[in-house]
């Protein structure tokens, strides 16, 4: 490669990294993901997204106005042929503290799920349970997962089309057991940018041979649908994500989120506009 082209590629790669780091920093601030004194458990799967998340968090840690710790944790699920040495060697090379949890969830999944059926649901539950337990036992205050903007939008459509609910992946949440706070620092990052980052940073990617051979997963169908939409109208996925941050409960149909019945009471007792009522903070009975 000629020197001018090499310099241009490096410039573009540096620019992309800085843009991604800015997006991660904004997500952290917007959702209050990381605070002073936090011990953040960064979950590494061996895929491009978790590598990028660790890379970007390390860069932010050096510049952040607050003091927090990062620990890399991965789960060896005992899949046949899993290269156990890859993650430890990489983490040692960049000087990051790490721990590998060894659990044979692979055998459980293969025993429970019939051949040809989707394994991702059970696999993810087992993986999540082991990671959550480890975080709780070792005093980590935050668990960082590598889901990005595309994952969030895809999950929204999976729930919409197959689950009959309007929900996605929140950038920050408390686990069902109430013991862990989960954060998704890549919430504002596009997968295409992360793919390019992985190529330039030369992460040692470990493919998943448990579910990676299931091309007909509903998530893959949704991914292809969104890719086609983006091709026809660039920026559509970002617009959908923006919609998830700009919800108007009064324009939907959930009586647990909006007191539709109470609108009659307001009309009888007012002069109080619906806008004023919404601003007053009144919620429907039993609403969260």
Q: pTM for the full model?
A: 0.85
Which residues partner with 183 through β-bridges?
Answer: 144, 172
Rounded Cα–Cα distance for residues 253 and 185 (Å): 31
Q: How far apart are CA 221 and CA 145, in angstroms?
A: 23
pLDDT at residue 285 is higher than 50: no
Is 3.40.50.620 the CATH classification of the domain at 3-150+165-208?
Answer: yes
Residue 223 has pLDDT above 90, yes or no: yes
> What is the per-residue pLDDT for 216?
54
What is the per-residue pLDDT for 43? Answer: 96
Angle between helix 218-232 and 236-244 (nearest 10)? 120
Dist. CA 87–CA 75, nearest whole Å? 10
pLDDT of residue 50: 97
Residue 17 has pLDDT above 50, yes or no: yes
pLDDT at 288 over 80: no
Min mean pLDDT across 5-14, 61-70, 87-96, 216-225 is at: 5-14
- Between CA 144 and CA 133 the distance in angstroms is 14
Residue of higher predicted confidence among 76 and 185: 185
- Of all residues in the chain, the percent with pLDDT exceeding 90 is 64
Cα-Cα-Cα-Cα dihedral sign, residues 249, 252, 258, 259: positive
Q: In the chain, pLDDT over 70 holds for what percent of residues?
A: 84
Output the six-digit token pair for 100: 């590998």
Reported as a pLDDT band with limits 50, 70 and 90, residue 275 is: low
The arithmetic mean of pLDDT across residues 74-83, rounded, is 85
Q: Which ranges in the chain are annotated with CATH 3.40.50.620?
A: 3-150+165-208
pLDDT at 164 > cutoff 80? yes
Cα–Cα distances (Å) from 2 to 5, 7, 8, 197, in that order, read: 5, 9, 10, 21
Largest CA distance in the chain: 77
Q: Which of 208, 213, 214, 215 is nearest to 81 (CA)?
A: 208
Instruction: Determine the distance from the C-alpha atom of residue 184 to the mean position of all C-alpha atoms in its chain, rounded to a whole number.
Output: 4
User: What pLDDT does residue 112 have?
Assistant: 74
């Amino acid at each position: 490669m000629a020197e001018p082209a090499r310099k241009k590629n490096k410039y573009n790669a540096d620019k992309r990294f800085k843009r991604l780091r800015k997006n991660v920093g904004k997500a952290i601030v917007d959702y209050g993901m990381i605070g002073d004194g936090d011990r953040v458990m960064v979950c590494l799967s061996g895929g491009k997204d978790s590598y990028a998340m660790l890379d970007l968090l390390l860069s932010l840690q050096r510049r952040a106005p607050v003091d927090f710790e990062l620990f890399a944790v991965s789960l060896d699920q005992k899949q046949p042929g899993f290269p156990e040495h890859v993650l430890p060697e990489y983490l040692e090379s960049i000087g990051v503290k790490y721990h590998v949890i060894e659990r044979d969830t692979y055998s459980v999944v293969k025993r429970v799920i019939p051949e040809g059926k989707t394994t991702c649901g059970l696999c993810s539950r087992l993986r999540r349970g082991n990671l959550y337990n480890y975080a709780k036992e070792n005093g980590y205050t935050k668990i960082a997962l590598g889901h990005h903007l595309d994952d969030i939008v895809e999950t929204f459509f999976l729930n919409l089309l197959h689950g009959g609910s309007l929900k996605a992946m929140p950038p920050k949440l408390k686990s069902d057991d109430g013991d862990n706070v989960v954060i998704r620092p890549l919430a504002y990052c596009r997968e295409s940018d992360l793919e390019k980052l992985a190529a330039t940073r030369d992460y040692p990617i470990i493919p998943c041979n448990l579910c990676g051979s299931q091309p007909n997963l509903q998530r893959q169908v949704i991914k292809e649908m969104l890719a086609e939409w983006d091709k026809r109208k660039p920026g559509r996925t970002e617009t959908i994500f923006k919609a998830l941050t700009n919800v108007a409960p009064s324009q939907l149909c959930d009586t647990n989120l909006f007191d539709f019945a109470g609108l009659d009471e307001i009309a009888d007792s007012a002069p109080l506009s619906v806008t004023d009522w919404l601003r007053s903070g009144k919620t429907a009975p039993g609403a969260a």
